[in-house]
Amino acid sequence: MLFLAETVISGLLTGVMYSLVALGFVLIFKASGVFNFAQGVMALFAGLTLAGFLTGTIPITHRINSALAMPPWLAITATVFVMIGLAILIERLVLRHLVNQEPIILFMMTLGLAYVLEGAGDLLWGSDVKVLDLGLPSGANDWLLDSFGLYVEQLEIVAAVVAAALVTALAIFFQKTRIGRALRAVADDHQAALSVGISLNTIWAIVWAAAGIVALVAGIMWGAKSGIQFSLSLIALKALPVLILGGFDSVPGAIVGGLIIGVGEKLAEVYFGPLVGGAVENWFAYMLALAFLLVRPEGLFGEKIIRRV
Amino acid sequence: MLYREVGQFKTSYAADQAIFPIAQDRWFVIALLLVAFLVVPFFVTAYTANAILLPFLIFGLAALGLNILTGYCGQLSLGTGAFMGVGAYSAFKLMTAMPELNLVIVFLASGVITAGVGMLFGLPSLRIKGFYLAVATLAAQFFLVWLFYKWGWLRNYSATGQITVPPRTFFGVLMTGSSAAPAAKYLLALAMVTVLALGAKNLVRGRFGRSWMAMRDMDVAAELMGIRPLPAKLSAFGVSSFYIGVAGAMMFTLWLGAAEGGDTFGIQNSFLVLFMIIIGGLGTVLGSFLGAAFLVLMPIVLKNTMVDTLGMTAVFAKHLEYVIMGLLIIFFLILEPHGLARLWQITKEKLRLWPFPY
Amino acid sequence: MSPSEMLKSAASAAVAVLAAAGTAGAYELVIPALDFRTGPYAPNGIPFANGYADYFTMLNERDGGLCIKPGDCVKFKIVQCETEYNTQKGVECYEKTKGEPPSGGLVYQPLSTGITYQIIPKASVDKIPVFSMGYGRTSAANGAVFDWVFNLPATYWSQASALVKYIGEREGGMDKLKGKKIFLVYHNSAYGKEPIRTLQALSQKHGFEFRDIAVDHPGQEQKAVWLQIRNEKPDWVLMWGWGVMNQVAIKEAVSIRFPMDRFIGVWWSGSENDVKPAGPGAKGYLSGTFHAAGADFPAHKDILKYVYDAGKATDPAFKDRVGEVLYNRGLVAAMWTAEAMRTAMKIHNTKELKGTHVRDGFDNLDVDENRLKELGLEGFTVPVTITCANHEGPGKVAVQQWDGKAWSIVSKGYYEPDREVVGALVKEDSEQFAKENNIKPRECKS
């Protein structure tokens, strides 16, 4: 019983970790209809930049000069500014020239972006594993372990709190602010939004900046587990079933989808995995999402697809 | 001046419906094939065959297969890597179970098996669309790769977890393994690809191709016009997987010679082939090959230029190569979002008028 | 002469002219280095590649290369080719470097399992030896069947057996293993599955309970695995991991408070990179190894002096990390390669080595403790003797431990594998391979 509880709790918390990645996808898809393949690489790039600032690495030479090391708060702020700058660059140099293209072309564009960021991240900061030391707690929670024998990972609790804060902030931003309203208008209908005087370019830059910051958060949380390294960009693959299950354009969908996938795959791995030789959770997550899709083809919270001739 | 169809009168339906109705196109294709079959084999070395020609032909064929599904029928798929794996493992099982079987039959049979698997995983497409479907095909990708590792029978229970191609001849010429002549492998692959590409070119302008394109452009409208979605979509999945399966079988037997589940048939290949068709041009046969050429050749050209000519270290060049590849992709998309094939078409239209401005 | 041959000879003539113009025709020993300094496994690839290249550079700078007799030397030419640990790129790199003038690629260290399987059949046709140091095809230990492949000093199967011996020793005797629970956490790939057969055979022999748990590539999410381990409380956990899977596994093990000194990784799961992200909790973690860590050997001092201080290093920022586990692994690989070439020079009495010569050099490789001392690597690794029939050599493995700052060998020396179990498996697999590919095993004297 305790083991089942542990599995479910771990599943839920892991699900939140997936949601953190999926959120970035949702933000961009909602506002611009772009399926951002580069989201995982953005998390890697943000993580590398943060680790570089924290240790005082000199870009390109990969030499560490500890005199340049920044304290965590400064490093995080600096990285946020880097991600905002990146968003503005992407909007200026790329998005602006691809207005009104088909979704698959924009998808391909993000692939090109992924290549550039991957190469640039390695060029600037090197391809070694970087230990990310922000003083985040990790390991089992002592109190729960000692009094109930229940194992809960502290890092994931932090991640859950951060995710909750992030979603609240996003919700307030979307619902209560002027820019948020503009964002929703753009998400609804590009042309209508343009015609009431909303600048698409500004909105896109803002959305990409927001996705960049979400990527930084995801990079920190996943990087705290494994160190910052290339494989961080592959977390995007764990976010995809979450996305389709929740719906590409729904923030709550990303969270709920994450929880369902997290619990589903952990239960499958622990109880069903040993029967067939294990390592089932990767494909099981996709199969689970597929099963949901057969019932609701637009995902749980996705906007209903209406087709007219 | 040179490229002009003025004066080419079609006097029969057959002539009007030829694959290449313009004489210059026809001659160009024939000349290209003649060069490829009669001249190139004399210059093939192990390096050109294994690093350039075979990857180009095999990925070109896989891209063609995916293009039938995505470019013509509008169904996004990210299961290509695993479907190539199905082709490869089928080829391995067929070759080891029936050593006498002709290689071409092995390829075609592997394609048929893959077509079956592809149609099975294509079923959800009747309900799921767009990017949702793309992610759903990832279920096939991950499940199949898992199965390649899990199911020992597929690799004849070899202790190494690898499948290795047994030595086989084709009409007396050794074709597989590393002792085979590179030119022989190249010719066999080229012949397969040529026949299959011409087949595809015919298929997409026939009844099937038209029903696929109708589905792609608007499925509701197509249904109203009397095209049944089930046969149309499943036939696209079947034909597409057939091509991909043949490509996978050739990749294993002719090119690599040894393969391992996720390492050779992982998701990276699914993405790679998808990128090829988008870069090359969705919904064109030519585009599949242009895209394959771009993504196979470009990294090698960049690498050889940077490392050999400019003397950069291998790793710095590799990082720079990523940046340049990314920038090139974005550049080409901004220049012409409909792919390299569309650029080629524009060039041809310009050629028609050349050298006169109007 | 066929047209293609004519073209080839014309091209090689042109290349020869160019080479002559460039280097005045000095013969060089081409060492192709299939590095992976980028991609998902770069953190492991970088130190190895540096160790491999630095040792050859050091020989070039200190001795003037490899000397047949004092003053009569020939330099190494290291040709780096980036594979990203990707099989298809590895094939391209192999084809590109194998004909590199003047000597052609002399020996391949393919590093990835996938690339190794690609190169094994190709190299025997091109007559170039493959030195897959402990990895790749395990049954290549049978030199009679695989005459071009060398997997010294110990295969994964030997290692699995040696680790079980270490466990037996810690438990107080092999008979105490009965009823113990040993789990294997492995990377779900051909590489990760290597030890399963051996461990199954050993579990029958010694009566311990064995279970294997797969982790799918890349392995960033392993909660389910470690929850099972927490639930079933095995006495020992072995790990066959690679890349990001290692860091995450160690971190998870720390999190569930699994005793670290009962958690043993394969030698690819025991480097500084793997333990550092887990922080101080990783202290006590064990791993297999076949060489020492650290930079206190005279050879390392020479590398720092002749390579880094002289500004000849490929990766100058690496200076502070010389002596890391994987750096030393690259170094030991280079050392055995160089010694095999030295042996080849002695046998064939030429300094203009070709692939076939180097193969003979490996076939007769003998690096004992005295030789190690002369090389400035006393006590660095296990003495190795290769014969025509035995390409694995000693098969001995030690166990090292992470003390929070550095790795050091903690086992009482190197463990001999269980030949009875491992030898039978090697024989079975290599004979099957010979049968499938119509290979007639060569006659081996002695």
DSSP letters for A154-173: HHHHHHHHHHHHHHHHHHHH
Neighbours of B335 (CB within 10 A): 11
How far is residue A279's CA from residue B262's CA, in Å, rounded to a whole number?
Answer: 13
How far is residue C362's CA from residue B120's CA, in Å, rounded to a whole number?
Answer: 52
pLDDT given at position C16: 44
Q: Rounded to the nearest 10 degrees, what angle do helices A103-125 and B267-280 cross at?
A: 120
SS3 C21: helix
pLDDT tops 80 at residue C23: no
Closest CA relative to residue B84, chosen from B254, B251, B256, B272: B251
Name the phi and psi angles at B341, rounded to 5.
-60, -35
Chain B residues near residue C125 by CB distance under 8 angstroms: 178-179
- Token pair listed for A306: 């209406």
Closest CA relative to residue B326, chosen from B299, B345, B349: B299
- Give the rounded distance of the alpha carbon of A17 from its chain centre: 8
β-partners of residue C185 are: C213, C239
Over chain C, what is the mean pLDDT?
88
The minimum CA-CA distance between B38 and chain C, rounded to whole Å, is: 12
Q: What mean pLDDT do residues C303-319 have?
A: 91
**What would the pLDDT profile of B247-297 be if each residue is shown by its tens digit?**
999 999 999 988 888 888 988 899 999 989 988 999 999 999 999 999 999
Per-residue CA distances from B307 to B302, B316, C84 (Å) = 8, 9, 15
Closest CA relative to residue A243, chosen from A8, A21, A31, A42: A21
Of C214, C216, C223, the CB nearest to A14: C223
CA angle B41, B45, B48 (to 5 degrees): 90
**CB spacing of A231 vs C218 below 8 angstroms:** yes
pLDDT given at position C5: 47
Helix (H) / strand (E) containing C186: strand C181-187
**CB spacing of B183 vs C4 below 8 angstroms:** yes
How far is residue B65's CA from residue B237's CA, in Å, rounded to a whole number?
Answer: 9
How far is residue B229's CA from residue B57's CA, in Å, rounded to a whole number?
Answer: 32
Q: What mean pLDDT do residues B151-172 have?
A: 85
pLDDT given at position A84: 96
pLDDT given at position C446: 54
Contact (CB, 8 A) for C78 and C51: no
Q: How confident is the model at residue C2 (pLDDT cuts 50, 70, 90)?
A: very low
- Token pair listed for C233: 């409380």
Name the phi and psi angles at C212, rounded to 5.
-115, 140
The minimum CA-CA distance between A110 and chain C, rounded to whole Å, is: 19
Residues of chain C that touch chain A, judged by Cβ-Cβ distance less than 8 Å: 37-40, 42-43, 46, 188, 212-216, 218, 220-221, 223-225, 227-228, 230-231, 243-244, 247-248, 251, 254-257, 273, 276-277, 279, 281, 317
Picking from B178, B271, B272 by the largest number of C CB atoms within 10 A of its own CB, the best residue to mutate is: B178
**CB spacing of B319 vs A241 below 8 angstroms:** no
How far is residue C399's CA from residue C266's CA, in Å, rounded to a whole number?
Answer: 10
Q: Does B260 touch chain C (CB under 8 A)?
A: yes
**DSSP string for residues in B278-341:** HHH-TT-HHHHHHHHHHHHHHHHHHHIIIIIIS---HHHHHHHHHHHHHHHHHHHHHH-TT-HH
**DSSP string for residues in C283-312:** TT-EEEESB--SS-SHHHHHHIIIIITTT-
Per-residue pLDDT of chain A (309 residues), as tens digits, is: 788 998 999 999 999 999 999 999 998 988 888 889 899 999 999 999 999 999 888 888 878 887 788 899 999 999 999 999 999 999 999 988 888 788 888 888 998 999 999 999 999 998 888 888 888 888 888 888 888 888 888 888 999 999 999 999 988 988 889 888 888 888 778 788 889 988 888 888 999 999 999 999 999 999 988 889 988 888 888 888 998 888 888 888 999 999 999 999 999 999 888 888 788 888 899 999 989 888 888 888 877 777 776
Instruction: Give the list of residues 6+ apart from residue C325 with CB closer than 8 angstroms, or none.
Output: C47, C270, C271, C272, C289, C293, C400, C407
Closest CA relative to residue C39, chosen from B263, A134, A218: B263
How far is residue C38's CA from residue C219's CA, in Å, rounded to a whole number?
Answer: 18
Of B221, B325, B333, the CB nearest to A309: B221
Q: What mean pLDDT do residues B174-200 have?
A: 91
β-partners of residue C75 are: C28
**What would the pLDDT profile of B308-357 be if each residue is shown by its tens digit?**
888 888 888 899 999 999 999 999 888 888 888 998 888 888 888 777 76
SS3 C405: coil
Contact (CB, 8 A) for A38 and A208: no
Counting Cα atoms < 13 Å in the Cβ hemisphere of C361 gives 27
- The phi-psi region of residue C414 (left if phi > 0; otherwise alpha if psi is between -120 and 50; otherwise beta) is beta
SS3 C80: strand
Picking from C88, C119, C314, C437 by the largest number of B CB atoms within 10 A of its own CB, the best residue to mutate is: C88
pLDDT given at position B31: 92
Q: Name the least confident of B240-244, C136-140, C154-158.
A: C136-140
CA angle C396, C398, C400 (to 5 degrees): 160
Contact (CB, 8 A) for C79 and C31: yes
Q: How confident is the model at residue C19 (pLDDT cuts 50, 70, 90)?
A: very low
Q: What is the dihedral of CA A192, A193, A199, A200, to 10 degrees?
A: -90
C245, closest residue in chain A (CA to CA): A226
- Token pair listed for A192: 């209508």
Chain A residues near residue C244 by CB distance under 8 angstroms: 226, 229, 231
Closest CA relative to residue C293, chosen from C315, C322, C316: C322
Closest CA relative to residue A93, chosen from A208, A182, A189: A208
- Token pair listed for C212: 């294997």
Closest CA relative to residue A237, chosen from C191, C219, B124: C219
pLDDT tops 60 at residue C9: no
Instruction: Give the list of residues 6+ apart from residue C69 with CB closer than 8 angstroms, or none.
Output: none
Picking from A7, A61, A127 by the largest number of C CB atoms within 10 A of its own CB, the best residue to mutate is: A127
pLDDT tops 60 at residue B77: yes
How far is residue B264's CA from residue C21's CA, in Å, rounded to a whole number?
Answer: 42
How far is residue A71's CA from residue A134's CA, in Å, rounded to a whole number?
Answer: 9
**CB spacing of A297 vs B322 below 8 angstroms:** no
pLDDT tops 70 at residue B1: no
Contact (CB, 8 A) for A49 and A63: no
User: How many residues are there in chain C?
Assistant: 446
Closest CA relative to residue B109, chosen from B253, B225, B208: B253
Chains touching A (at least 3 CB pairs under 8 A) are: B, C
pLDDT tops 50 at residue C22: no
Instruction: Give the list of residues 6+ apart from residue A199 with CB closer than 8 angstroms, or none.
Output: none
Residue type, A207: V
**What would the pLDDT profile of C217-258 be if each residue is shown by its tens digit?**
888 889 899 999 999 999 999 999 998 999 999 999 998 899
pLDDT given at position B357: 67
**CB spacing of C38 vs B160 below 8 angstroms:** no
Where helices occur in C83-154 by DSSP H, the ranges are: 87-97, 113-126
Q: What mean pLDDT do residues C178-207 have?
A: 91
Residue owning tokens 């494989």? A231
SS3 A189: coil
SS3 C142: strand
Picking from A131, A226, A266 by the largest number of C CB atoms within 10 A of its own CB, the best residue to mutate is: A226
pLDDT given at position A275: 84
- Token pair listed for C12: 């090689």
Q: What mean pLDDT do residues B152-173 have?
A: 85
SS3 C36: coil
SS3 A111: helix
Contact (CB, 8 A) for A203 and A183: yes
